[in-house]
Amino acid sequence: MSVISYKLRESAKGQACQIRLPGICNCDPSTVVLAHVGGGSGMGQKCDDIHSAYTCSACHDVIDGRSGPVMLSETTIRIFVFEGMIRTQRLFLKQNLVMVAT
């Protein structure tokens, strides 16, 4: 694992869940990890760390298919996941974990 990947993954500790699935999110920062969520490979498949989101254990279980059926459509889940990824990327920028070349 690269130093950058390690720093991104470690940055999840104590963060708020950025996916926030309604009726599912446990809002517990102690359960938050950096979960891979997309990047063209589809949810539940591994991809690079920039395509990830700070995710609580309850939301993570849903996006990885470990929680069984839920009362949200796949489209709704996908929207929340990708919006969470965008919020997480903004936090990466704010924390200087990722920089944009100018």
pTM across the whole model = 0.86
Q: Give the other-Cβ count within 10 Å of 76's Cβ.
A: 13
Q: Which domain holds residue 52?
A: 3-92
Report the phi/psi class of residue 84: left, alpha or beta, with left for phi > 0 and alpha for psi in -120 to 50: alpha
In a domain, 99, yes or no: no
Considering the chain, what percentage of its residues have pLDDT values greater than 90?
68
- The pair phi, psi for residue 26, each rounded to 5°, is -90, -5
- On average, the pLDDT of the chain sits at 89
State the catalytic residues: 36
> pLDDT category, 42, cuts 50, 70, 90?
very low
- The verdict on residue 100 lying in a domain is no
pLDDT of 96 over the 90 cut: yes
The answer to whether position 27 is within a domain reads: yes
CATH number, domain containing residue 65:
3.30.50.20
The mean pLDDT of 53-75, rounded to a whole number, is: 94
Examine residue 101 and state whether it is found in any structural domain, yes or no: no
Asked whether residue 98 is assigned to any structural domain, the reply reads no
Q: How many domains does the structure of the chain reveal?
A: 1
